[in-house]
Amino acid sequence: MENFISVLEKSYSKIADTYFCDKNLTEGYWSNLEKNEQVLLLSQLDRKTSMEVVNNLFPQLEEIIFDPMRAVGLRLLDIKPNEHGVDYGCMWGNLLIYAANNCEAMLGIDQTKESLAFVNHRLKEERIGNCYLLNANLRDDLPFSEMFDFAIINGVLEWVAEDNQVELEKFLSRSRFKLISPRENPRNIQLRFLEMVRNNLKTNGRMYLAIENRYDYQHFLWKRDPHPNIYYTAFLPRKVSNLICNFWFGRPYVNYLYSFGELENLVKEAGFDEVEKYAVFPDYRFPIKIIPLDKYDNNDYEPVYNLVQTSDIKKKIFHRIRREIDNIIYKKLKLLYFAPSIIIIARKG
Amino acid sequence: MAYELINSGSHQNDVALFRYKEHSKDYYLKVSLCNDANKVLEKEFEGYKWFSETIKKELCNVELIKKHFYELKIPKYNGIKFPDNSTLDKNRVYVEKIILFYKDRWPINEKFAVHGDLALNNIIFSEKDINIIDWEHFHLSEIQNYGVDIINMVFILLSNQVIKDFNLSYSTLEFLKKCYRILLNGNDSMKIAGRPFCYARQYIINNKHNYREGINIEEKFCITKFDERALEKLDRHIVGQ
C-alpha cells in the first residue's frame, strides 16, 4: 500500500536526507534567526552538539528548540505506535521529534531549508530513524492524499498567508520596509491550507491546531498583536486592522487570528467533523495548563506564567495585577473564551 | 476522551500532569516527555506499588504504561486534601492521624522505605483510609532512618507558619513534643532520637542520590535551607534537653 514515504521517493529529490521539489526549490524563509545567523549555526554543527552550539551562540533559543515541555499538548492527540503523522511548519523540530518518538513514521515539512538542515542534525543526534523531512511551501498542493493518521499545526496557521521571508526580529521591528501584500484574503488562504491538511488525513485522522486567541483579554489592554507587533489589530474588525497595517507597513493585515467560535467555523468549513476546543495558558508555545472548553471546572484554576524572578518593582506590580484579573476572568467569571491561546483537536469523519 | 493539563514541568522534571475521565471514573495521568523523565515515573510507580502491597496489603491500582515515553495512570483518591501552604497549628488532628498511621503501618524490617516528600498536601484522608501520592523520591532505606518522613512533614508545616528564630508558642511546642513522643515511643535506637530535625536535614543531604535524579535538594526541601544551629535549638525544645 502506498504511504507518504513512497510518495516522497517518487515525487521529490533527496539531497542530504531532505526531500526537495524537483521543479523549483522553494525560497521561503521563516526563522527566529536571521539568515547569516542560521549559516553560522549550521557551520558549527559538525564540531559540537546542537545544544552546545545553540547555548553558545543563541542561548535565548534554547528552550524554544529543546524544551520537551513544548510538546505536552500533543498528548491530546493520543498518538499510537503504528501511526503516521505530519508536522506542517516543523521549524526547529521540537514537536516533530516528540511525535516521531511516539509513532511509526513522521514527516516534517518546512519552507526554510536551513531549519531542516538543523532538524536533520538533531535527528541524527537523537538517533531517530523514522522521521522524514520535506522542503515545501505549505500553500502548495502536497500529494499525500489520505496518508496520515494525525497532523500537527503549531503556530503556523496565522503565518500561512504570509508571502514575505520572515527573519523574525527584523520582521517584528516596526520599520516601514516594503512588505508584499497577500494575493487574496488571508482567511481564504488559511481555509485552503486546512482543506489540504484534511485531505491528507485518513478517515478518522486527527488534527492538532494551536494558535493565539484573537480575544485574549490582554490584547484589549497591554499586549500587542504578536505578529504585526502592534496594538489592537488582533481583535479589531479586519477592515480597521487593514487600515492600521496599511499605515505602518504599507499592506493590509495578514496574520489572522480567531476566536474559539471563528476557529471552529473555519475548521468545520474545511471539512472537519468533530472539534474539541481547549483554552491554553499561558500560551500554546509553552503550555502549562490546557483546559477543555466544554468541561470546565474552575475550582482549582490558578494563573500560570513562565516568569523569571525579577526585582523590578513595576514588573512585580504588573504581575500582581495581571494575576488578579486572571482570577476574576477565568476563575470567578469562567470566561475561558478570553484565554491566551487555543488548541483544537479536529477529526476527519 | 478530553484530557485537562493541570500543570507541566512544575518540579523541573519534564513530567506533565493530566486529568481525565474513563468510564465515568476520574484519573490522573503523569506523562513523561523525555527519556530521563521515564526514570522518574518508574521510581514513582515503585513507590505506589510498595505503598499498596506493603502498607495497604492490596493490589496496586496505579498503572505504569511503558510506551516510548512512560505514563503513570493514577485513580483519583477521594477525601480531604490540603493546600501547599498548610500550617501545623491548623492541622494538628491530621498530623496526629498520619503519625499514628505511620507508627502502625510503616514496616520496621527490610522493607522499610522513605517516601521522600511526605508533605501534608501529598496525603489524602478519606473516612476509612489514608492514601499517599507523589512517590517520585521513593527509596528503600535502613530502619534506623525511621521517622525522617514525618519530621520532614512537620517541618514543612512549621515553616509555613510565621516563625522567627523558632520562637514557637507554648501550645505548638507541646504539640511537637507530643508528636515526637508518639513517633518514637521511647525507642532511642532510631537516628532521629535526640535530634529529629537535625538528622532529617542531614539525611536528605547525605542521601541526595536516592531522591529523584537531577533535583536541587536545597530548592525543594526547606529543611535543608536552615542552618544546623537553628535546628539544634528546635530539637532541644522538643526533646526536652
- Reported as a single tens digit per residue, the pLDDT across B196-209 is 999 999 999 999 99
State the nearest Cα–Cα gap between B64 and chain A, in angstroms.
16
Q: Which of A69, A290, A300 sits opposite B9 (nearest CB)?
A: A69
Please give the residue of chain B at the shortest CA–CA distance from A80: B67
SS3 for chain B, per residue?
Answer: CCCEEEEECCCCCCEEEEEEEECCEEEEEEEECCHHHHHHHHHHHHHHHHHHHHHCCCCCCCEEECCCCCEEEEECCCCECCCCCCCCHHHHHHHHHHHHHHHHHCCCCCCCEECCCCCHHHEEECCCCEEECCCCCCEECCHHHCCHHHHHHHHHHHHCCCCCCCCCCHHHHHHHHHHHHHHHCCCCCCCCCCCHHHHHHHHHHHCHHHCCCCCCHHHHCHHHHCCHHHHHHHHHHHHCC
* pLDDT at site B165: 62
Amino acid residing at A189: I
A72 and chain B in contact, CB less than 8 A: yes
CA atoms lying within 13 Å on the CB side of residue A121: 23
* pLDDT at site A176: 57
A residues 77-116 closer than 8 Å to B (CB): 78, 81, 98, 101-102
Contacts of B4 in chain A (CB under 8 A): 290-292, 295
CB contact under 8 A, B33 and A98: yes
Question: Chain B interface residues facing chain A, Cβ-Cβ under 8 Å?
Answer: 1-10, 14, 16, 18, 29, 31, 33-34, 37, 67-69
* Helix H or strand E segment including A197: helix A186-199
CB contact under 8 A, B33 and A72: yes
Residue B241 or residue A122, greater confidence = A122
State the nearest Cα–Cα gap between B15 and chain A, in angstroms.
8
Cβ-based neighbour number of residue A308 at 10 Å: 6
- Which pTM was predicted? 0.91
* pLDDT at site A10: 93
- pLDDT-derived band at B13 (thresholds 50, 70, 90) equals confident
Question: How far, in Å, are B97, B100, B140 from residue B103 at the CA level?
Answer: 10, 5, 17
State the nearest Cα–Cα gap between A33 and chain B, in angstroms.
26
CB contact under 8 A, A287 and B8: yes
State the nearest Cα–Cα gap between B2 and chain A, in angstroms.
7
Cβ-based neighbour number of residue A334 at 10 Å: 12
Q: What is the mean pLDDT of each run of 10 residues along chain A (349 residues)?
A: 91 91 71 89 92 94 93 96 97 96 97 94 95 94 95 96 81 69 91 98 98 97 92 96 90 95 98 96 95 77 82 91 94 93 97
* pLDDT at site B227: 85
State the nearest Cα–Cα gap between A316 and chain B, in angstroms.
21
Contacts of B7 in chain A (CB under 8 A): 288-289, 304
Do strands A131-135 and A18-21 pair parallel, antiparallel, or not at all (unpaired)?
Answer: parallel
The residues pairing with A230 across neighbouring beta strands, listed in sequence order, are: A225
8 A C-beta contact, residue A160 and residue A131:
no
CB contact under 8 A, A289 and B6: yes
Cβ-based neighbour number of residue B23 at 10 Å: 5
CB contact under 8 A, B34 and A287: no
CB contact under 8 A, B8 and A72: yes
For residues A224 and B112, give the distance between their C-alpha atoms in angstroms, rounded to a whole number: 57
Please give the residue of chain B at the shortest CA–CA distance from A295: B2
Sign of CA dihedral B203, B204, B205, B208: positive
Question: How far, in Å, are A96, A109, A224, A266, B9 from residue A227 at the CA level?
Answer: 23, 21, 8, 20, 27
Contacts of B31 in chain A (CB under 8 A): 72, 75
Burial of residue B157, with CB atoms counted within 10 A of its CB: 0-12 exposed, 13-18 middle, 19 or more buried:
buried
Q: Which of B6, B16, B29 sits opposite A69 (nearest CB)?
A: B16
* pLDDT at site B2: 83
Q: How do the residues of chain A divide into helix, strand and coil, expressed in percent and rounded to 5?
A: 40, 20, 40
> Is the bond preceding B196 in cis, omega lying within 30 degrees of 0?
no
A295 and chain B in contact, CB less than 8 A: yes
A276 and chain B in contact, CB less than 8 A: yes
Please give the residue of chain B at the shortest CA–CA distance from A287: B8
A75 and chain B in contact, CB less than 8 A: yes
**Per-residue pLDDT tens digits for B14-67:** 899 999 999 999 999 999 999 889 999 999 999 999 999 999 999 999 999 999
B174-B175-B180-B185 Cα dihedral, nearest 10 degrees: 90
Contacts of A291 in chain B (CB under 8 A): 4-5
**Per-residue pLDDT tens digits for B114-165:** 999 999 999 999 988 899 999 999 999 999 999 999 999 999 999 888 766 6
A129 and chain B in contact, CB less than 8 A: no
A130 and chain B in contact, CB less than 8 A: no
Identify the residue whose cell numbers are 511537637. B176
State the nearest Cα–Cα gap between A332 and chain B, in angstroms.
18
Q: Which of A71, A76, A300 sits opposite B33 (nearest CB)?
A: A71
CA A176 to chain centroid: 26
* pLDDT at site A296: 61
For residues B221 and B98, give the distance between their C-alpha atoms in angstroms, rounded to a whole number: 20
Burial of residue B19, with CB atoms counted within 10 A of its CB: 0-12 exposed, 13-18 middle, 19 or more buried:
middle
Q: How many contiguous H segments (helices) and E segments (strands) does chain A have?
A: 11, 14
Mean pLDDT over residues B94-98, rounded? Answer: 96
- pLDDT-derived band at B168 (thresholds 50, 70, 90) equals confident
Instruction: List phi, psi (to 5°) of A237.
Output: -55, 145
Per-chain mean pLDDT for chain B: 91
* pLDDT at site A172: 74
Contacts of B1 in chain A (CB under 8 A): 78
